[in-house]
Amino acid sequence: MNRTNFAIAAIAITAAASCSSDTPPATSAPAMPPVDAIATVNKVADDYYAHVMSTNPETAYFSGIELDRHDGLQDNSLAAGAANDAAIDAMLAELRSVHSDALLGDPAWITQAYLLEELEGIVGVRVCRTEVWNVNQMGGWHSGYSQVAQLQPIGTAELREQSLARWSKFEAYIDQEVGNLGEGLKLGYSAPKAVVQRVVDQVDGLLALETEQSPFYSPAARDDDEAFAASTRVIVEEQIVPALRRYREFLAGPYMERAREELPITANPNGRECYDASLRSYTTLNRSAEDVFELGKQTVEANKASVIELGKAAYELTDFTEILRRAKSDPTDRFVDRDELLEFSREMVERAEAEMPNWVSTMPQQPVLVVPFEEHEEGTGRSAHYRPGTDERPGEYRIPLYNPQDQSRGNAEATAFHEAWPGHHLQVAFAKGIEGLHPVTEIIWFSGPGEGWARYSEALAEEMGLYTTTTGPIKRRAWPARGMVADPGIHLFGWTREEAIEFMMESGRFPESMGDQMVDRIAILPGQLTAYDSGGLEILALRRQAEEALGEDFDIGEFHDRILENGTIPLPALRAHIERWLAKQ
């Protein structure tokens, strides 16, 4: 099967593989793993799963898990955080007592790979003290709980009672956030002012809604019980809205006055240690920020050369900047209105789904819907994203329809392929159909392999012939690895806001209006934007390795099944898995 250029040169692919210093060897599996080792790992997995479901049951709604009860709410007090730390330390110590080689040949090897990375990552990022500067425009608690309310099950007397019980606790949760932020200021921790203002604006959007339009009234709006509606209204109007108003006034007033002006995480105590831990947690790779930065620069230059090849064919241009300028000004690349954007997105997802069976051997059956943002989400800086489905509801590719005239058709294609087919939806739905994986794997997500697959999918979609625009492949190739440069550039290497915006906007992937949003995203999620291409490069390196090893016997569908069959397993474990598979061939 012919394959097009993935827009990443061989130098970058080789570097991606060689920088994975924590890659375990592809050892052969013993005939029978020790029973006690398997039992220990499964016990820790059971304990961690139960711990998360009891202390943070909201996780289930974003992992496609059905809960027995729907009245729980996370305790966000600092005392509860300390108790959580102690529980995690005990589970990690027990897990470390088992050597991973003793588990080869049993699903417990996969379970341990997930848990070790998860628990060690949690311990590592404690140095960041995020709980005392938890102001986040990219999916903070105010946004997350808005979605939980919209997913709150209703329809029976018991479920209505559970809904009222949960949301009666939310006022205290909001007030505790104010207390946590105050403690952070005393200790010298804060979010950047630009981020604080974005969250203030988002909370203003929630406060501006009439009660019936509030996401927190959603349970009542979806039920037909008048008494339940009246009780929910009281909770929203007399508890949640006043608490949100207190939170907003604190952010805009005392907190804003003392929030840091600086973007880099190094402005907070132990900032460099935080960045290193966060980078490892997101990517799952033992790769230094300096190495990420250099690999990113090499990859960006290789991608520029690839864009120039496309520019010659499309516009008869050989200058990278001119090619992107032409692509951005292409009059055929804009949407007329919201309806056209929505219909275009739905057509792309349907087209990709129809082609998908030719590129995976195992096709998941769960559908994905293209769903517009709710009114209160529009214009808040949140980007399109994927929400996993359950056995009862499909997955959702959720998109903003805000300012459709500023949105690019080519970018819309790349984003749809990233989030739905062959990206996140395929990845998540595939994992849900795997038998034998411990349920704990459903509540753990690593950006390196997760976003890495989605980035790989943007290129795979080009190989599949899914792009219908001229601008899609050009902009798609111009963007990868820029996050690997801009992210450490801002946090460690002294880049200004203007330098970062210029570097990222040069790709043409996003509207100019998104430059500030991208910088503020990097500021509040240190290391996260590096994970997409750290993972994408690793997956592509594994594919090239498999193609070279198998020659004419290489089957793209089987390779993708092997990549996906353990979910978003940490990248070093994924490499070990693929190398063992190749050795058996």
Helix (H, G, I), strand (E, B) or coil at 470: coil
Q: How confident is the model at residue 32 (pLDDT cuts 50, 70, 90)?
A: low
Helix (H, G, I), strand (E, B) or coil at 483: helix
What pLDDT, on the 0 to 100 scale, is given for residue 7? 35
Determine the Cα–Cα distance for residues 452 and 570; give it in Å rounded to an integer: 11
Residue pLDDT, tens place only, 205-244: 999 999 999 999 999 999 999 999 999 999 999 999 999 9
For the cut 70, the answer to whether the pLDDT of residue 1 exceeds it is no
Helix (H, G, I), strand (E, B) or coil at 371: strand
Residue pLDDT, tens place only, 418-431: 999 999 999 999 99
Determine the Cα–Cα distance for residues 449 and 445; give it in Å rounded to an integer: 9
Bond before 473 cis per omega within 30 degrees: no
Helix (H, G, I), strand (E, B) or coil at 69: coil
**How many beta carbons lie within 10 A of that of residue 184, not counting itself?**
23
Measure CA of the first residue to CA of the last residue in the chain; give whole Å: 20
Q: How confident is the model at residue 59 (pLDDT cuts 50, 70, 90)?
A: very high
Longest pairwise C-alpha distance within the chain: 68
CB 468 within 8 A of CB 485: no
**Mean pLDDT taken over the chain:** 93
What pLDDT, on the 0 to 100 scale, is given for residue 381? 61
Determine the Cα–Cα distance for residues 4 and 535; give it in Å rounded to an integer: 20
For the cut 90, the answer to whether the pLDDT of residue 170 exceeds it is yes
φ, ψ (nearest 5 deg) of residue 385: -155, 170
Residue 331's alpha-carbon distances to 173, 249, 409, 414, in angstroms, are 49, 44, 10, 18
What is the number of residues in the chain?
585
User: Among candidates 384, 375, 403, 385, which has minimal Cα distance to 205?
Assistant: 375
pTM confidence score: 0.91
At position 170, the amino acid (one-letter code) is F
> What token pair was written down for 478?
């111009």
The residue to which tokens 């979609």 are assigned: 461
User: Among candidates 450, 527, 485, which has minimal Cα distance to 280?
Assistant: 527
Determine the Cα–Cα distance for residues 464 and 458; give it in Å rounded to an integer: 10
For the cut 90, the answer to whether the pLDDT of residue 483 exceeds it is yes
CB 320 within 8 A of CB 307: yes
Residue 306's alpha-carbon distances to 340, 466, 467, 485, in angstroms, are 30, 19, 17, 18
For the cut 50, the answer to whether the pLDDT of residue 30 exceeds it is no
CB 490 within 8 A of CB 265: no
CB 431 within 8 A of CB 552: no
- Bridge partners, residue 260, by sequence: 192
User: Among candidates 548, 534, 552, 556, which has minimal Cα distance to 579?
Assistant: 548
φ, ψ (nearest 5 deg) of residue 428: -75, -45
For the cut 90, the answer to whether the pLDDT of residue 52 exceeds it is yes
Pairing of strands 368-372, 385-387: unpaired
